[in-house]
Chain A
Amino acid sequence: MERVRRKYVLTGNYAAAYAALHSRVEVVAAYPITPQTTIVEKIDELISKGEYNTTMIRVESEHSAMAAAIGASAAGARAFTATASHGLFYMYENIWWAANSRLPVVASFVTRALAPPWNIWSDHQDVYALRDSGWILFLARNAQEVYDLIIQAFKIAEDDEVRLPVGVAHDAFIVSHTSEPVEMPMQDEIDSFLPPPEHIKPLLDPENPVSVGNLPTAEQHYMLRKNIWDCIIYSLSVIRRVGREYTELTGRNYGELIPAYKTEDAEYILVTSGAMGGDAEDAVDVLRDMGIRAGHLSIRLFRPFPHDELIDKVADSKAILVFNRGVSMGLGGVITADIRDSISKEALSIPVYDFIVGLGGVEVSKDDFIKAVHDLKTGKLDMKKTYYLMGGEYV
């Protein structure tokens, strides 16, 4: 299994840049925004060295970046873009055009808070806003996951039965600008995993003219959205299959969509997404040293939501504590709502507790998780409440 690999110390952003180029992406269209900028800068730098046969389109806005990616993808090219926060929201209209046109665009989103006030740090609120569009959405925990998931993203998006855009998100600075070792398969291995872009079915073909997005009947529109539902539900099996193939290639586990840590016998399960997962696992170890059976789940795949896998992993637990880096104002944590939906579908009676952490880039560390579990065990928490937990204190 162990093979000689390429291993570099890279930031999450550089990992994203290399992943796109190693996937033999043909068109990259992007506009700079902190903390995403170094992704496209790196791509541009490597293209200018003549190492990759990729066209970089410099556009005047993020709206145009996605429009150019949509155009390229509709013509059958492998297309990529990257953005963050306000750039993502400026792109938002075309986020839906990409999904509803069934185009296999892949994008890297560096999660960042929304203004005002201006804030460049991590917050998942921007990516959560894509939740209902039809994009397949991953949240990576580290630079290695960023790299691995982007390569898998192209294969998932381009699957003939899926044909949906895929976004791979990673936390601003905590992942985007942190340097760490990233192991990469050799190019020939990637090429054998991910077929060349020629297989992508073009939507636009001069020999067979069609128009995309013409006014349909209400019923046709309904059926097109229903078809996205059918395909995104089906995509779970494709995502798992692609993940297993990638695991075989690299030895890194992508068969799981919700990676688990010590959940087998866990009474208390912490649920997180993105970069805070590692610190949550530190907390699990501290809690276990105290004799508390804790475990952790990282929601790596946010949409489609891996309901069955979640239920498998929490079914025997006593309580679930969900830590959200984004909130649905007036309802609660975004991921908490997903977890409660799954619990209710199975008519389980496991209590789910709701925590909001890390908004605007506030640091999340193991003390936050430990405090939450202690308060739960001592009967201090109310399931109906949403707890805002900052620096180990409720605010």
Chain B
Amino acid sequence: MPEVMYPIAKPAPGSAGKTGYWRWQKPVIIREKCTRCGLCWIYCPDSAYELDEEGYPIVLYDWCKGCGICAHECPVDAIKMVDEYGEG
């Protein structure tokens, strides 16, 4: 007796694997400049940001694909994109 398979996906962290390895640049937070506005956390298309108890962003490098949207959106230039494999 076959068991029915459904074409469904459940929300879960990284159900497609650790997508962080797709990345060649990574965002680095410059804590001194950060105003804790949370825009990076909102804009991240991969939910690869968390906020710490004080409201500062933490990048989840296992899932961050390095798209740079956070750096682009940061209103105070507190996120710098750094080459993953270069001197940076």
Which A residues fall within an 8 A CB radius of B?
A: 100-102, 160-163, 203, 209-214, 216, 223-224, 227, 230-231, 234
Contacts and interface: CB of A to CB of B under 8 A. Distances in A.
Interface string B3-18: 1111111110000000
B88 interface: no
B2 A230 contact: yes
Contact of B7 (A160, A224, A231): A224
Contacts of B11: 209-211
Contacts of A216: 7, 9
B6 A102 contact: yes
A218 to B, nearest CB: 13
Given A102-B5, A162-B4, A203-B8, 4 more contacts: A209-B11, A212-B6, A216-B7, A227-B2
B3 to A, nearest CB: 8
B2 A210 contact: no
A312 B10 CA distance: 46
A375 B1 CA distance: 46
A38 to B, nearest CB: 35
Contacts of B3: 161
A210 B4 contact: no
A203 B6 contact: yes
Given A209-B10, A209-B11, A210-B10, A160 B5 contact: no
A3 B80 CA distance: 82
Contacts of A231: 2, 4
Nearest to A228: B5
A271 B7 CA distance: 37
B1 A212 contact: no
Closest 9 CB pairs between A and B?
A230-B2, A227-B5, A214-B9, A210-B8, A163-B4, A231-B2, A211-B9, A210-B10, A213-B7
A210 B5 CA distance: 14
A170 B9 CA distance: 37
A224 B8 CA distance: 10
B9 A210 contact: yes
Nearest to B5: A227
A101 B7 contact: yes
Nearest to A100: B7
Contacts of A160: 4
Contacts of B5: 102, 223-224, 227
A18 to B, nearest CB: 30
B9 A102 contact: no
Nearest to B4: A163
Contacts of B2: 161, 227, 230-231, 234
A231 B3 CA distance: 8
Nearest to B8: A210
Nearest to B9: A214
23 contacts: A100-B7, A101-B7, A102-B4, A102-B7, A203-B6, A203-B8, A210-B8, A210-B9, A210-B10, A212-B7, A213-B7, A213-B8, A214-B7, A214-B8, A216-B7, A216-B9, A223-B5, A224-B5, A224-B7, A227-B2, A230-B2, A234-B1, A234-B2
A211 B8 contact: yes
Contacts of A230: 2
Contacts of B6: 101-102, 203, 212
